[in-house]
Chain A
Amino acid sequence: MSSVEQTYRGRRTLSHLDWLESESIHILREVAGQCANPALLFSGGKDSICLLRLAEKAFRPGKFPFPLLHIDTGHNYREVTDFRDFRAAELGERLIVRNVEDSMAKGTVVLKTAGESRNKYQSITLLEAIEEFGFDCCVGGARRDEEKARAKERIFSFRDDFGQWNPKNQRPEVWDIYNARVHKGENIRAFPISNWTELDVWQYIQREQLALPSIYFAHARPVIRKGSLLQPVTELTPAQSGDLVEEMMVRYRTVGDITCTAPVESNATSLAMIIEETATATVTERGATRLDDQTSEASMEQRKKEGYF
């Protein structure tokens, strides 16, 4: 096929990471250009860590045109929330934290059982924060390769005044002209790394030498095998009688609510080793790590309709 291959040799082509980076910067600047009062959701996780680097490239030497916002379930690892605070301070940007526990105290979040995963209740606290600050756009680190409901979501995704996503009534998104116009009370969720895969994220973290919370790297942790998943043994998720607790070398592929995020067995102590594992992984990121998505094939779609990110 040499005749075909020659048609691109010798021509300038952006590497795939450069192309993705440039697209994401373009999206962030459109948010800044079109929205009056946006916020960037920063959890301390790897995807939003990439978002912060992209925001630096998009807006430095200026300040970010948005504050950072975290909806804390109260069930996050200390390593991650400490990192969140450290990184915001290092950047000199404003960090707003709103707690699901405050919504529980107010009575807007009512748990069915005390130890229940608070993941889905983040939506309520997020909507309360949007109302409190009057945000017209929230920038998030969701990716289309994560899940099939996400695969069909726009980069600028419209939410009505209940925060709901309607998959049947999305705004057409052509070329890279984005439409962030909303009426008061309505909201845009913008996803600058929509087109990135898990592997792209890790490669970007390596290229940009981004710091991460330590639990992304292999460490010894007591876990219980639950089917194909590993459940960490923590104060929130203690072993039950009959559970076999094993001390294993694990790392997190994604960090979220402790009660519903599973680590994976791994000896990867460096980014290069993580990338090697990601490239040869045999299970998807959500499949390997989400204790809550297994329940129903369409649970992400359902949560998004209710205002979830």
Chain B
Amino acid sequence: MSALEHIPEIDNGLLRFITCGSVDDGKSTLIGRLLWDTRTILADTLHAIEKTSLKRGNVEVDLSLITDGLQAEREQGITIDVAYRYFSTGRRKYIIGDSPGHEQYTRNMVTAASTANLAVILIDARKGMLTQTRRHSFLTKLLGVPNIVVAVNKMDLVDYDQAIFDQIRADYQNFAMQIGLGKVHFIPMSALTGEMLVDRGDKLDWYAGPTLLDLLEATPSAHSERDERFRFPVQYVCRPLRADRPELHDYRGFMGRIESGSISIGDEVMVLPSERRSRVRDIQLGEISMASAGAEQSVTLLLDDEIDISRGDMIVKPHQLVLVTRRVEAMLCWFSETSLEPRRKYVLRHTTREARAMIEAIEYRVDVNSLEHHPATGLAMNDIAKISLRLAQPICADSYSSNRATGNFILVDETTNNTVAAGMIL
């Protein structure tokens, strides 16, 4: 992939991915290399990196410095938070969720993985699979990231030895089977020298598969893989009542984003939780009508009948029902420095709906390193557990494994208003 000299006609959408690994695995170098080789790094940024490289005594420009963060982080020598980075190949736009390797790792990786459609798991070829590789893989699986690439990095430091790559691949495949990961791609590479990231290089001739960028370009974007059930959480109801536009007097537009599936004018729909039925009279964006719309499009739906619908309701198709429930079993990741207190009430926010929630039981806590289950009475920051919740109002839920958008929720502490946990409905 060369410099973006002209805006090409092809637009293959947008892909969000994360990179999992620590600085030692060459994660920052990998990101720096992708940005550099796709000509995303511009002269003034490079100049700043050159200066810092020199200051730190490096002769060559250290690409990993591109991901150097905030002053507050440099002062403490740690990375605090997920950073988002952008590049484009002209065919596709990319958003990288770059989560730090050490402090608060689970919380940050869960945050970054929640919106990712692909995860690059870095393994140092000299070290092979480590505990953190298992942890990254488990979290990737937990968050339902559909595409996984294992990047066996630093091949330059093991003489580009195919046997080492094959061994790591075999080890990982064994582990992937245990935790139920689907298809995994393996790529030998050197982020430092650039082999198999954007360019193939000439040291890894025994590897015939795609480069990392080839894979990124070819990965299906979310929702293009299968037919899904129509889910439309109502965000906002538009009732213009404008004196200057009497024709809009009866206008009731139900505004939201199609989280999955598709809808056409004339389709029968059901509103939940009221179970009232109607048909789609019009689908609009701005004030322009369209015959049909699909997943990830923000639209306005107009229905044939006057039904009372408000924010928090969900519009579905009658033969594609969703579970309306006040009991939820879920995997929960605890974010807050204040521990989970089972007797306290939290606010659960699911799609566009809120409900008071009480923790009924903590079934077990998962050790993210050994993947063993342990009994637990409370949860501390970065803990992951299977829990059951009781809600004051019903929500319209799918299981997270069948629908990421309608299977997730957050918990908010009502006294601080902080987001304290992320949950995935089982």
Contacts and interface: CB of A to CB of B under 8 A. Distances in A.
Contact of A26 (B7, B83, B298): B298
Contacts of A152: 69-70, 80-84
A225 interface: no
Contact of B3 (A16, A280, A288): A280
B242 A63 contact: yes
A282 B42 contact: yes
Contacts of A220: none
A129 B417 CA distance: 24
> What band does the interface of chain A fall in when counting residues whose beta carbon is under 8 Å from B?
35 or more
Contacts of A32: 235-236
Interface string B144-161: 000000000000000000
The winner among A21, A60, A145 for most chain B CB atoms within 10 A is A60
Interface stretch (A195-203, A245-253, A259-267): A195-203
A105 interface: no
Given A8-B218, A14-B296, A279 B7 contact: yes
A148 interface: yes
Contacts of B245: 61
A96 interface: no
A203 B7 contact: yes
The winner among A145, A152, A168, A203 for most chain B CB atoms within 10 A is A152
B70 A148 contact: yes
Contacts of A58: 255, 298
Interface in A190-208: 194-195, 197, 199-200, 203
B131 interface: no
A179 B4 CA distance: 37
Contact of A29 (B68, B255, B335): B255
Contacts of A102: none
A18 interface: yes
Interface in B249-267: 251, 253, 255-257
A25 B5 contact: no
Contacts of B59: none
Contact of B297 (A18, A59, A148, A181): A18
Contact of B238 (A13, A62, A298): A62
Nearest to A202: B7
Nearest to B4: A279
The winner among B217, B253, B419 for most chain A CB atoms within 10 A is B419
Contact of B408 (A56, A175, A183): A175
Given A8-B218, A63-B240, A19 B14 contact: yes
Given A33-B235, A63-B240, A11 B44 contact: no
Contacts of B115: 174-176
A228 B48 CA distance: 14
The winner among A23, A62, A176 for most chain B CB atoms within 10 A is A62
27 contacts: A16-B93, A20-B14, A21-B298, A22-B296, A22-B298, A32-B236, A33-B311, A57-B298, A59-B236, A59-B238, A61-B238, A61-B248, A62-B238, A62-B253, A168-B72, A172-B419, A174-B111, A175-B408, A176-B115, A179-B419, A183-B417, A194-B84, A195-B84, A203-B7, A280-B3, A280-B4, A287-B42
Given A200-B93, A301-B71, 18 more contacts: A4-B218, A8-B219, A11-B220, A11-B224, A15-B13, A18-B297, A22-B298, A33-B236, A56-B286, A57-B286, A61-B251, A62-B253, A167-B70, A168-B80, A174-B408, A177-B349, A199-B88, A287-B44
Can you list the 10 inter-chain pairs with the closest CB atoms, starting with the nearest? A287-B44, A298-B71, A25-B298, A4-B218, A181-B417, A13-B13, A16-B93, A11-B224, A29-B235, A174-B114
